[in-house]
A and B are shown apart, each in its own frame.
Chain A
Amino acid sequence: MNKILLVARREFLTRVQKKTFLLSTIGLPLIIFGLYAMMIYFSVKSTDNFKVAVSDNARLFNGKVDDKKSTEIIFEFVQDDTAALKSKLDKGIYDAYLYVPAGFNAGSGKDSLQIRSGKAVGLLTREKIQSRISKSLEDKRLMALNISQTQIDSIKNEKDYIRFSSTSGETQKGSKVGISYAVGMISGFLIYIILFVYGTMVMRGVMEEKVSRIAEVIVSSVKPFQLMMGKILGIGSVGLLQFIIWIVLVFGLQIVLPAIFPEMAGQQQAMPVGPGAGAAAVQQSGAMATLMSGLQDINFPLIIGCFVFYFLGGYFLYSSLFAAVGSAVNEDPQDAQSLLLPIMMPVIFALVIMTKAVNDPNSSLAVFGSLFPLTSPIVMMARIAHGIPDGVSTIQLIISMLLLIGGFLGTTWLAGKIYRTGILMYGKKVTWKEMWKWAFRKS
């Protein structure tokens, strides 16, 4: 045991002390976050406002398009004819104009509104103009039918009257299902990436020991199994440390980001309380509220607990297999590719099942995938995100965990036997058939 820890300590320290560790652990997420922050910053703070002159000769808009106080797109009502509008456009007073001819009938299906601009209009701006005008027209036409604003709102919210509930009587909020989907997808993907990244790290470590010919030197003082377990534990703790740093970073950035970009936070807060906030603003803040309440419905302690369990379980299960492959490979890293295929297959298979399981956590495929130890670390995360008992029953969760522990003991035992033979074998190219023989022959 002591020797396993010695090996693990070396594996951990040599990796953590490298400059690349700092770079990949702190630098990379910071760069990604920085890019996102910049993207958000620029999209929120677009200083160029786009002025549209509206010459409304059919009295379609009654002097205003909507109640939005946007600085991005400004509609200005004028009384000019097309020639005057065109000359103002050329002078750069307006960026575009909309000329509504007298007698324009929106309901006829023949007439159309033409927005003319001097230069090409960006896709986003174009969409925003389009949606604001069409929404305004829609509301005004409905109002023309003597329907009140509240009636319009209630018609539009028709889908809110349709609710899903489970037989246990608990109502399922749509927002919760959506968030469960996202959480399941993200955590499943994370485990998939972790399995590959740290699995290959273990494999490379084993190959390094074999190629540098230190394996036999070490094995004369440590049992091969101890060496393998030490390596797996050491690299596993590197992964865990990295994971912890990332969580701290995420929470840290959540506090720091609004301080750097006060506009963002300010806008989010100002929206619902703004005087005379229109229906759109209300709807947006409503979506925000349901999102927040959806997040509150997610059982995060359960998910994080399960994530750590399946991360460790999956890592131990697969890393020992990766170690076995590493031990069988000779100088040529290309050999590893063909030997890796049988290990990659269940992982990729699991990913496919996972994408199905987030939609339908109780399908028989999802149940199988979440119990079978080679796929359960990825698939179970998709089910667990839907909570207990909606996504997975407690008994299934316990069975899955036990099977994973059993599977991990099994693969470690098998891999240990392959590893013991492989690490001292030089020169010969090894096939899966031979590795199979090593694993099952009597010692």
Chain B
Amino acid sequence: MSNILELRNLRKHYATQKAVDDVSFSIEQGSIFGLLGPNGAGKTTLLRMITGIFYPDSGDIYFDGKEFNPADDIIKIGYMPEERGLYKKMKIGEQALYLAQLKGLDRSEAMQKVKTWFKRMEMESWWNKKVEDLSKGMSQKLQFVTTVLHEPKLIILDEPFSGLDPVNANLIKDEIFGLAQRGSTVIFSTHRMEQVEEICNHIILMNLGKKILDGTVNDVKQQFKENKFSIKVQGAAAGIADSPAFEVDSRKDNNLIVKIREGYKSNDVLQHFLQSGATIEAFNEVLPSLNEIFINLVEGSKAVTRAFSETPVN
């Protein structure tokens, strides 16, 4: 499959810091891509370069096979920034129409798209209301609609679920899946790892302006697995002690998590239990959650102190 977006050695330096420092990756068309990283990792700067708001200091962006040209390609991108909002006093219908026209649709085309989307999201009755009359969830929904209205090839969502209740979050999640199925590519920036595991195929982890992890969710988990297995036995697991094949990591009721020692396999563990006469009810590999991987990689990297170095020291 072809790449919708390819970044090569992208750099953007501010006066006092390297916001994005030599980042390269590519995104397949139709995938849901997670861009992860702690606060101040350079995600927003990276996204602003992809949306043409900032120009990179060096490096190239290829969009849909060609060099990225903001003036022409902007209509193919929908960006919902983290700092987002709408004109509070403007009527909702007009506002959606205006934003669609700014993307480059002509008026009749915009009108038609706004109407179909409003119908689909059951927002038709909102047309003459003002944004200030909407609840937070409703305006978030409207914001999402205005982002994807022109059915862009690339949709960039920065923390799309913040402030949404589970019902509305699910609604938008379903729309994201739907858009991906219809061929749109979604870049999804967040630090909510459970959402990433649920939604994304491919992830990138950034820290201090650099890419420190790149791969499919499964690959990443495999890469960081610690050979841990969970075993459920009948009766209490209290009596089980370390053996040459494994050491016990933790135990709870009749559940046991063991770490296999180097040179042994999972079968060796099973064999040990079978020989000891225990009745095994379940045996699973324990893969680290993205959250754990994230914390492991970011912790101790001075990510927190960096937030302060943003203020220029003269």
Bitwise interface map of B from 44 to 60 toward A, beta carbon under 8 Å scored 1, else 0: 00001001110100000
How many whole Å from A210's CB to the nearest CB in chain B? Answer: 9
Bitwise interface map of A from 215 to 251 toward B, beta carbon under 8 Å scored 1, else 0: 1111111100000000000000000000000000000
Q: Does B136 contact A (CB under 8 A)?
A: no
Contact of A216 among B53, B55, B102, B311 (CB under 8 A): B53
B99 touches A221 (CB 8 A): yes
Q: Give the one of B52, B53, B74, B77 with max A CB within 10 A.
A: B53
For chain A residues 1-48, which have a beta carbon within 8 Å of chain B?
A: 3, 6-7, 10, 14
How many whole Å from B160's CB to the nearest CB in chain A? Answer: 13
Q: Give the one of A214, A426, A441 with max B CB within 10 A.
A: A214
Question: Hey, which chain B residues are within 8 Å of A424, CB to CB?
Answer: 48, 53, 83
For chain A residues 202-221, which have a beta carbon within 8 Å of chain B?
A: 208-209, 212-221
How many whole Å from B313's CB to the nearest CB in chain A? Answer: 14
Q: Please report the C-alpha to C-alpha distance between residue A162 and residue B80 in the assembled complex, in whole angstroms.
A: 76
For chain A, what secondary structure do more than half of its interface residues adopt (helix, strand, loop), or is it mixed? helix
A10 touches B74 (CB 8 A): no
Contact of B74 among A7, A217, A220 (CB under 8 A): A220
Q: Please report the C-alpha to C-alpha distance between residue A220 and residue B102 in the assembled complex, in whole angstroms.
A: 10
Q: Does A443 contact B (CB under 8 A)?
A: yes
Question: Hey, which chain A residues are within 8 Å of B311, CB to CB?
Answer: 428
Q: How many residues does chain B have at the interface if contact means C-beta atoms less than 8 Å apart?
A: 28
Question: Hey, which chain B residues are within 8 Å of A217, CB to CB?
Answer: 79-81, 84-86, 99, 143, 146
Question: Hey, which chain B residues are within 8 Å of A218, CB to CB?
Answer: 99, 102
Q: Does B115 contact A (CB under 8 A)?
A: no
Knowing A221-B74, A221-B99, A221-B102 are in contact, say whether A216-B86 is a contact too (CB < 8 A). Answer: no
Chain B residue, CB-CB nearest to A224: B53
Knowing A220-B53, A424-B53 are in contact, say whether A213-B83 is a contact too (CB < 8 A). Answer: yes
A213 touches B103 (CB 8 A): no
B89 touches A14 (CB 8 A): yes
For chain A residues 160-219, which have a beta carbon within 8 Å of chain B?
A: 208-209, 212-219
Chain A residue, CB-CB nearest to B150: A221
Q: Please report the C-alpha to C-alpha distance between residue A219 and residue B77 in the assembled complex, in whole angstroms.
A: 12
Chain A residue, CB-CB nearest to B104: A221
Q: Please report the C-alpha to C-alpha distance between residue A351 and residue B304 in the assembled complex, in whole angstroms.
A: 52
Question: Hey, which chain B residues are within 8 Å of A214, CB to CB?
Answer: 84-87
Chain A interface size, as a band, is: 20 to 34
Q: Does B90 contact A (CB under 8 A)?
A: yes
Chain A residue, CB-CB nearest to B52: A220
B83 touches A6 (CB 8 A): no
How many whole Å from B153's CB to the nearest CB in chain A? Answer: 15
B83 touches A216 (CB 8 A): yes
Chain B residue, CB-CB nearest to A14: B90
B55 touches A443 (CB 8 A): yes
Question: Hey, which chain B residues are within 8 Å of A3, CB to CB?
Answer: 102
Q: Give the one of A215, A216, A437 with max B CB within 10 A.
A: A216
Q: Does B101 contact A (CB under 8 A)?
A: yes
How many whole Å from B157's CB to the nearest CB in chain A? Answer: 12
B103 touches A221 (CB 8 A): yes
Chain A residue, CB-CB nearest to B80: A217
Q: Does B88 contact A (CB under 8 A)?
A: yes
Chain A residue, CB-CB nearest to B70: A223
A213 touches B53 (CB 8 A): no
Q: Does B273 contact A (CB under 8 A)?
A: no
Q: Please report the C-alpha to C-alpha distance between residue A324 and residue B143 in the assembled complex, in whole angstroms.
A: 27
B53 touches A212 (CB 8 A): no
B85 touches A6 (CB 8 A): no
Contact of A6 among B53, B74, B80, B102 (CB under 8 A): B102
B102 touches A212 (CB 8 A): no
Q: Please report the C-alpha to C-alpha distance between residue A217 and residue B100 in the assembled complex, in whole angstroms.
A: 11
B77 touches A220 (CB 8 A): yes
| Sampled A-B contacts (6; CB under 8 Å) | A6-B98, A217-B146, A221-B99, A221-B103, A222-B102, A428-B311
Give B contacts to A, CB under 8 Å.
15, 48, 51-53, 55, 74, 77, 79-81, 83-90, 98-99, 101-104, 143, 146, 311
Given A220-B81, A221-B102, A426-B83, list of 11 further CB < 8 A pairs? A7-B102, A14-B90, A212-B87, A215-B83, A216-B53, A217-B80, A217-B99, A218-B99, A218-B102, A220-B52, A437-B15
Give A contacts to B, CB under 8 Å.
3, 6-7, 10, 14, 208-209, 212-222, 424, 426, 428, 437, 441, 443
The 5 A-B pairs with the shortest beta carbon distances in the complex, nearest first, are A213-B85, A220-B79, A216-B81, A212-B85, A221-B102
